[in-house]
Structure 1
Amino acid sequence: MELPADIRLKLDTWDEYMHPPTAAVNYNESMYFNLYDAGQGVGGWFRLGNRVNEGYAEMTNCLYLPDGSVAFMYHRPHISHNEAFDAGGMRFSVVEPFKRLSVQYRGDVLLLKNPGEMIDPGRAFKNNPKLPCTVDIHYHGVSPLYGGEPVHADGSPWLENPNTGLYVGHYEQHIAGQGVIRVGEQEWHLKGLGLRDHSWGPRYWQNVHFYRWLPMNFSEDFAIMVLNKSLGDGGRIVGGMVLNEGRYDLIRAATVETEWDANYYQTRLRAWAKTDRAEYHIEGRVLSLIPLRNRRTLEDGTELMTRITEGMTEYRCNGLVGYGLSEYLDQIVDGKPVGIGA
């Protein structure tokens, strides 16, 4: 996030918990976790986003299975408060702030042999089987925290325009996790690496022109997150961090080049990132991908569509092999993602 000169980031242990909602109708507070067990070829990500002023939460459970299929579920359960991340069968718990958290899920998932079918959710939910699913994963941090909430020098909050951003407060952390997931009669005992984040503040998914978010882990000692974002007004935000020797080195410059298939889904990527200490050349190969969408209609009847492609990705850097996500968000204009070729 680019900040004015008189603004600083603050982050306290109580920020791990829930924040009082502001009056913005699109106030969102969300947590996200991912994990990949390289030995078994199983991973996934989990998200809860409380939109209490709109009366619902966004719950997503996405599991990438060894045969290339994806077990997926999305709900918008009703909520009446912002006191917990507990909706739609999913629960996030803070065991020890900044150090230990847990994810639980009890519900169903849609088993997609062809994850690309999710670009048409109605048809996908009609034509694919549902199976019972449980998730129990315990996470612990392997890195410092990256991010926080922007405030003025006197501690008063810096208020961002609710129509131009995705959050006010936001932080991320590379993590390790272990636990059990069950899909139907299949069960996996997972032990792997990942990344988590926590955001709060006004959010419309249409507020960003496009972004490329690349969280990846090579070991508990070496991990990277690259962000390349376009705000639509010509502004660009480039950032992220590299975990090395127990510290985060901030990324000062970065580029992302992408190879696409016929549907404009990422298949391979090349990223370059520079910190004050080193440069990193990264290659990514998408192992499995699911396309998701978010639609919103403006007061004048204009329909907006955002596409987010979530690719479980194998990364290579410095002679090491790692895993993570390649998350590409684009507004769709005239049937095409706006970030193609950018």
Structure 2
Amino acid sequence: MPETKVVLLEQDDLMHPNTGESNFNESAYYNFYDRTQRFGGFIRLGNRANEGYAEMTACIYLPDGTVGFMFQRPEITNNDAHNAGGAKFEVIKPFEHHRVSYHGKLCVLKNPLEMADPAKAFKTNPYSKAALEIDYVATSPGWGGELREKSGDQWISPKPSGDPEAQFAKGHLEQLGHATGKLLLSTDGNEREFKIDALGLRDHSWGPRYWQAPKFYRWLTMNFDQDLGAMATITVNRDGSERPGGFIARKGKPFLNIVKVDVQTEFTGDQQLHDKIKATCQTSDGGAPTVITGTVLSMIPLRNRRAGIVTRIAEGMTEWNWDGKIGYGLSEYLDHFEE
């Protein structure tokens, strides 16, 4: 049997071959938070070329508590680039420098929880024109990769196997970064400009994906400063098995992999959305568990439907506390509900 292990290649920061599954997906995502202005957001493009469209999501958490949001399914015919629905992602230098932009509309929600019913929310709230331009520069190495086989002196992707409908991603990478740029919002001739100097995390995944594949997951991203960040996640599969993971990144030191994650949550409101979080993470060095607490600053519930299942992806901009050190990032909770 050939040697196999999770390997991250420089080419993984570029587009991957379309392996032909009907639900093949290649997505890239960038989040950021400017703690000085109390302002941040995320933007995502997921190419589903074999289904003929991309999923484009842009979400901006504004300082006054309102949230600007847009979701589209623009038509695409190939997986050559992330460039659809007004969003464009360019890799200037793999794992070092990306350029991110969005030119389009945002629905501006004074009450972001209204997005639980997107048809109504999009009809009853005002819109702004948005121009987002960001340079995203790495503050840590990339983390993750794909399970690959050794062939000679190269690592190659094995042939696709398993039920693609039960898969969530064949390969996946994450990286901490520093975002600089600006956002221009224009509403009825009134313009607001935000200069961006923010920390964040990006991810990139490829392979078959349905949002309904896992039973649920929790994904927590954290930036404390340019020298310290983390990601902790736990996915519970349909068979009840758990997949914990993540990392702690300190400048100048190797990643500490997270091998066990316990997430305790206080939920709030009629929609029972996450509000207070306690994440206990055991790292691969066998040291004492790391305990990080979080408080959601701003929340928007997003929705995906398939085969009679309503999937809620709750996106909370979160303030983190690690032994008195304050950080920021996204807490993303995926859960399913019957129609």
TM-score normalised by the shorter chain: which range applies? over 0.9
State yes or no: 1:186 paired with 2:192.
yes
**Structure 2: runs of 5+ lacking an equivalent:** none
Q: Which residue of 2 aligns with 1:153?
A: 150
Alpha carbons 1:151, 1:158 under 8 Å: kept: no
In 1, Cα distance between equivalents of 2:260 and 2:9: 28
Q: Which moved more, 1:144-153 or 1:101-110?
A: 144-153
Q: Residue 158 of structure 1: CA displacement? A: 5.5
Q: Which residue of 2 aligns with 1:230?
A: 236
Number of matched pairs: 326
Q: Which residue of 2 aligns with 1:272?
A: 280
Q: Residue 156 of structure 1: CA displacement? A: 4.2
Alpha carbons 2:223, 2:230 under 8 Å: kept: yes
Give a deviation string over 1:36-86, Cα, whole Å, max 9, x none: 000000000000000000000000100000011100001100001111100
Please give the residue correspondences for 1:18-167 in structure 2 after superposition, counting only pairs within 5 Å. 18-154=15-151, 155-157=156-158, 159=160, 160-167=162-169
In 2, Cα distance between equivalents of 1:163 and 1:152: 23
Give a deviation string over 1:94-134, Cα, whole Å, max 9, x none: 00101000111111100000000000010000000111000
**Please, what is the CA RMSD of the aligned residues?**
1.5
Change (3 A) 1:162 1:99: same
Q: Residue 305 of structure 1: CA displacement? A: 1.3
TM-score (norm 1): 0.92
Q: Which residue of 2 aligns with 1:283?
A: 293
**Structure 1: runs of 5+ lacking an equivalent:** 298-302, 336-342
Give a deviation string over 1:14-45, Cα, whole Å, max 9, x none: 22111121121000000000000000000000
Alpha carbons 1:70, 1:115 under 8 Å: kept: yes
Alpha carbons 1:175, 1:193 under 8 Å: kept: yes
Q: Secondary structure at the match of 1:206?
A: coil
Q: Residue 164 of structure 1: CA displacement? A: 2.0
In 2, Cα distance between equivalents of 1:276 and 1:49: 32
In 1, Cα distance between equivalents of 2:159 and 2:284: 28
In 1, Cα distance between equivalents of 2:45 and 2:2: 33
Alpha carbons 2:266, 2:277 under 8 Å: kept: yes
TM-score (norm 2): 0.93
Change (3 A) 1:139 1:284: same
Q: Which residue of 2 aligns with 1:243?
A: 249
Percentage of matched positions with identical amino acids: 46
Change (3 A) 1:158 1:324: farther
Give a deviation string over 1:247-280, Cα, whole Å, max 9, x none: 3110121110000013110011101112134431
Runs of 4 or more off by more than 6 Å in structure 1?
none
